[in-house]
Chain A
Amino acid sequence: MQVDWFFILEKVLLITGVLIISLVVAMYSTWGERKVAGIMQDRLGPNRAGPLGLLQPLADGGKLFFKEEIIPGASNRFLFILGPSLAMTVACMTSAVIPWGDTLTIAGHTVSLQVADVNIGILYIFGVVSLGVYGIMLGGWSSNNKFSLLSSIRAASQIISYELAMGMALIALLMVTGSLSLKDIVEQQRQSGVWNVFVQPLGFIIFLICSFAETNRSPFDLAEAENELNGGYHLEYSSMKLGFFLFAEYINMFISSALMSTLYFGGYHIWGLDSLHVSPNIVTILGTLVLFIKTICFIFFFMWVRWTIPRFRYDQLMRLGWNYLIPIALLNMLITGGWILWHQH
C-alpha cells in the first residue's frame, strides 16, 4: 500500500493545531468574558492571578479538576458521563471544514490550512450542529432530576427551533454562491472582493441571531437562568464534567464566530492583502491572522450582547424563532431567488 506520510503528518499536525487553538481561544474567552463584563459594569474584572489576571483560566481549570466529583446515586452512570463528553466532542468537530487560511508551500509541498475540503462543508456543519442536542439531552435526562430534565428539554427545543431558521438563511447563501464547500465560498469572496454580508444582509442577521440561540448565549441563555428557573441541564454536575459543559459553550462560540467570518465576512480575505508584494506564504499567514481578528471581533460581540440585553422569556423565544425568523428567512430565500432570476435575464 502506498502511503503518503507527508500528507498524514501534515493533517495530524493541522488537526492538533486547530484543536489546541480552539481550546486556548475558548480558555481565554472565559477571561475575556469577565474582563468585558468588568469594564461594562465599571469594575476591574479578574486581576489577581498573574498580570492583568491572565492566569485566571488556568486557576479556574485547576479548581474544576480538584473539586469533588459527585455522580447522583439514582442516575445512569454511563450516560451521565457520556453527556458532557458528547457536548465537548461535538463542539470540537465543526472546526474540520473551516478554511483557516490559503495554502502554504513548505519544501515543495503545498499545504492547505483546512483539515478537510469536502464538497458538502455546509451540510457537514448542519449535521454536527444537529448532533449537539444529544449531549444536553443525555446529560439532563441521566441526572434523574426532573428540573434537569425540564431544562434539557427546554434547551433542546430551543436549539431545534433555531436550526430551521439558520438552515434557511444558509440556503439563501447557497443560492448566491452555488457551492457547499467553505473553501469555494471564501475564494469567491476573495476573487470578487465583495463579502457575502453585502449580498445577504438579511440572511446574515438571521444567521447571527440563530448562532446566539444555538450556542445558548444570552439573550437566549435560558438553559442557565439560575435566578428564575434553575441551574439548567447541568444542575447535578460538578467538577470537570460541569467544566466540560461550560467549556463546550465557549468552543461553540469560537467556532460559530469563525463560521460567520468565513461565510459572510470573507474568511481570510481582506482588501489589499493580495496586492502586497510579499511571498505567498506571508500572504497566507497574514490572511490567517485576519481571520482570527474577525473571529475575535465576533466573540467580543457575543460578550457585548450578553452584558447589554436582558434575557428572553421562553414563550418570547419560541415566538421569535417560529413566528418571525422562519417567515423572514423564507422571504429572504424568495427575494434571493427573484434577484438571481432577474440577473440571469
Chain B
Amino acid sequence: MGMNLQQVVFGILSIISLITALGVVFSKSPVTSVLCLILTFFTIAGHYVMLNAQFLAVVHIIVYAGAIMVLFLFVIMLMNLNAEGEPQKRNWLKYAGAISGGALLVVLLAALREASLPSLTPASNDIGLIANLGQTLFKTYVVPFEVSSILFLSAMVGAVVIGKKEH
C-alpha cells in the first residue's frame, strides 16, 4: 500500500462528508436534514485541519454549526415541519427540475472538459494559522476586509429595520 496516513484520513473524511451531504438532500424529515448538514460541516472542518488551517476549521464550526444551523433548527422546530406535512410537488415541476438540472450538467461538463488544474505551489503551508491569516487580512487585504464588514453592518441594520416595521 502506497497510501500514507493523511490520504487514509482524507479518504474517510471525504466518504463521510459525501454520505452526510446526500443525507441532507434525501432525508424526509427536515430535522434529520439539518443534523446531517451539521455533520457535513464537521467533516469539512476536518478537511481544513488537514490543510493546516485550524483557524478556518474552528471558525467554520462556530459560524456554521454553532450559529447558522441553530437558527435553522429554531425555524424548523417552531414551524413544526414534519415529513408528512411536506406539500406534494406537482409532476410537471419534477420534470422541469430534472430537465434544467440535466442542462446545467451538460453546460458544466462542456466548460470543465478542457480545464486542467495547474499544480498548486502555495507560498507557505502555514497561511491558515491564525497569526499569518491575521497579518494577511489586516495588512494586505485591509480595505476589502473593512468594506465587507460594512456590508455585514448594513445587512444587520436592514434586518433590524424590517423587524421594527410593525411598531
Contact = CB atoms under 8 A, between A and B. Distances in A.
B155 interface: no
Interface string B51-77: 000110011011001110010011001
B5 A1 contact: yes
Residues of B contacting A: mostly: helix
A130 B62 contact: yes
A180 interface: yes
Given A137-B77, A141-B31, A120 B62 contact: no
A307 interface: no
A120 B58 contact: yes
Contact of A123 (B38, B58, B65, B67): B58
Most buried by A among B31, B59, B77, B78: B77
Nearest to B70: A133
Given A79-B31, A127-B61, A119 B54 contact: yes
A160 B31 CA distance: 20
A55 to B, nearest CB: 39
Interface residue tally on A, bucketed by range: 20 to 34
B66 A137 contact: no
A120 B62 CA distance: 12
19 contacts: A1-B5, A76-B31, A118-B54, A119-B54, A120-B55, A123-B55, A123-B62, A127-B66, A130-B61, A130-B65, A130-B66, A134-B38, A134-B70, A137-B74, A137-B77, A141-B73, A153-B77, A160-B70, A180-B130
Interface of B: 5, 31, 38, 54-55, 58-59, 61-62, 65-67, 70, 73-74, 77-78, 129-131
Given A1-B5, A119-B129, A127-B61, 8 more contacts: A119-B54, A119-B131, A123-B130, A126-B62, A129-B66, A130-B70, A131-B61, A137-B70
